[in-house]
A and B are shown apart, each in its own frame.
Chain A
Amino acid sequence: MVLIFISIIALVFYAPEEKTMGIIQKIFYFHVASAWVGFLAFAVVFVLSILFLAKKKFIYDAWAYSSAEIGVLFTSLVLVTGPFWAKGAWNIWWTWDARLTTTLILWLIYIGYLLLRQMIDSPEKAARICAVFGIIGFVDVPIVYGAIRWWRTMHPKYVVIMGGENSGLHPKMLQVLIISVIAFTFLYLTLLLLRVDLEKSRQQLDYLKSQLQ
């Protein structure tokens, strides 16, 4: 909470205003941080799904499922904050540009993952199928990341990692971005712990119900 509060103060008072876009560019800090958490969450799903398939322990599945839900939440935030920035900067809400389209596909893949889990009755079968789905779905993450490098897009080019000289990010903007990314990473970890606790309680409830029947 403290880190989030610091990042809000920093982006309002410390981060300079971008010359061409103006104040609307300040959406950048939490938009990028949300995208980073989305990628991180889906990477966690990928690793834990492999672990689940290898070791067949349901605790890995509970962590993967929780991480997928939080990943969808943060990717939804990317897809909501992005159009506001686009409307202010490009005067359009949406365009079928490579980065935007691949992000939408990523979101739909993990919405599918969550729906699949609800649709399959047997918990073992749902865990196994979703683990495979989580591993295959992760293929889209590097595509989303590489979209602005491989195709001509309207989306701003890379400015932080591999941006090269004169890539355009002011040192103060970079500092605020790093604070935001760290704050959102801690927020992700907190939400993940809360969500995993809920999943464990749900499993305990199912066990108790089966004992009573």
Chain B
Amino acid sequence: MYYMVAAYSILWLVLFFYVFLLIQKQSSISREIKGLQQEMIRRKLR
């Protein structure tokens, strides 16, 4: 019983952590892209 609970807990923790990392990485890259795009517009306007 304990082994089954442990196995399933690890399985779901790892999967949720992976999804969390994907979402976090995506939002940080999107922020960086937005910053660079604004920088490009600023350079063009100068």
> Which A residues have a C-beta under 8 Å from some C-beta of B?
23-24, 26-27, 30-31, 34, 73, 76-77, 80-81, 84-85, 87-88, 187, 191, 194-195, 197-198, 201-202, 204-205, 208-209, 211-212
Contact = CB atoms under 8 A, between A and B. Distances in A.
Contacts of A81: 7-8, 10-11
A207 B1 CA distance: 52
Interface of B: 1, 3-4, 6-8, 10-11, 14-15, 18-19, 22-23, 25-26, 29-30, 32-33, 36-37, 39-40, 43
B3 A194 contact: no
Main secondary structure of the interface of A (DSSP, over half): helix
Given A24-B1, A77-B11, A205-B32, 12 more contacts: A24-B3, A24-B4, A27-B3, A34-B11, A73-B14, A77-B10, A81-B11, A191-B22, A194-B22, A194-B23, A198-B22, A208-B33
Question: What are the 5 A-B residue pairs with the smallest beta carbon separation, nearest first?
Answer: A84-B7, A88-B3, A208-B36, A81-B7, A84-B3
A208 to B, nearest CB: 4
Contacts of B10: 77, 80-81
A129 to B, nearest CB: 24
* Chief secondary structure at chain B's binding surface: helix
A191 B18 contact: yes
A212 B8 contact: no
A85 B19 contact: no
Contact of B26 (A30, A34, A73, A201): A201
B14 A77 contact: yes
Contacts of B18: 73, 191
